[in-house]
Structure 1
Amino acid sequence: MNFLNGITLLLVYQLVGEVAVRLAGLPIPGPVLGMVMLFLTLLIRGRAPAAVDQASSALLSHLSLLFVPAGVGMMVHFGRIAEEWLPITLALLLSTIITMVATALIMQVTSRWFAGPLENGGPGDD
């Protein structure tokens, strides 16, 4: 019963996000807004309820099954993908490079921010 309560809560947040996006005309997917609202709720509470923890763990353990529809969709549209292989390849390569550079820069900035200025110099400063 705990799993059922958790999955119901997750689906309610998804539904609320979907309704909010449609009513407000926001340019983001409803489930994304629902996930942000769930995150804020969990942040305020400080912990996840046991039901949500159990449901999310069960969903994550079967995450690979969610790639099946995407694979089927690729096979259905294989002809179009074959015709448009160059722009698709360039988009994938450029987005990967941009993501890696952005991640590296963000990591450097946050590392410096969390480390703060060293007091009394670094190691080896005598």
Structure 2
Amino acid sequence: MIAGLTWLLAFQVLGEVVVRVLDVTVPGPVAGMLLLFVFLRLRRYGDDGSIVRAGTALLRHLQLFFVPAGVGIVVYLAVLRDHALPIAAAVLGSWLIGLVVVGWTAVGLERLLGKPRDDLGAGPHGAGEAA
């Protein structure tokens, strides 16, 4: 377990170093996670390895990582209350913009590739019609 946690922390530090040396705008832990992914794919690491066991143990207690975010919400509750309308507008607006962009991208890719999706299992007679 300690060896796996050491590997995970080493890749996080490596990600931080890469981000600072290359001066990119990606968080260091994300870069470290990408490097870890490449490492695991190249080594064909098994499910019984120390890195996988440590990651599984961390995932088992994932809910604990939300405690600091919950504490932050409680601490800034007065600020959130005072600015509830702009925050709600920003959250809903960004969600709507994201939804529209994903929809346009999906339609654009379907047209570009010439393959319409058939997610609903519609037969030759259309969705919901019996053959």
Instruction: State the distance in 2 between where 1:61 and 1:108 align.
Output: 39
Gaps of 5+ in 1: 117-122
Instruction: State the distance in 1 between where 2:42 and 2:107 align.
Output: 26
Deviations 1:63-93 (A, max 9, x none): 0000000011111111211122122112222
Gaps of 5+ in 2: 117-122, 125-131
Q: Give the aligned partner of residue 120 of structure 1.
A: none
Q: Give the aligned partner of residue 61 of structure 1.
A: 60
Q: Give the aligned partner of residue 24 of structure 1.
A: 22
Higher RCO (CA < 8 A, seq sep 6+): 1
How many residues were matched structurally?
115
Q: Which moved more, 1:36-45 or 1:93-102?
A: 93-102
Instruction: State the distance in 2 between where 1:84 and 1:75 align.
Output: 15
Q: Give the aligned partner of residue 34 of structure 2.
A: 36
1:104 positional shift? 9.1
Q: Percent identity?
A: 38
Q: Give the aligned partner of residue 8 of structure 1.
A: 6
1:42 positional shift? 1.7
Q: Give the aligned partner of residue 71 of structure 1.
A: 70
Q: Give the aligned partner of residue 119 of structure 1.
A: none
Q: Give the aligned partner of residue 84 of structure 1.
A: 83
Does the C-alpha gap of structure 1 residues 46 and 87 become closer, same or farther in structure 2, counting only changes over 3 Å? farther
What's the TM-score once normalised by structure 2's chain length? 0.70
1:94 positional shift? 2.7
More helix by share: 1
Q: Which moved more, 1:45-54 or 1:74-83?
A: 45-54
SS in 2 for 1:26: coil
What's the TM-score once normalised by structure 1's chain length? 0.73
What CA RMSD, in Å, does the superposition of the two structures yield over aligned residues? 3.0
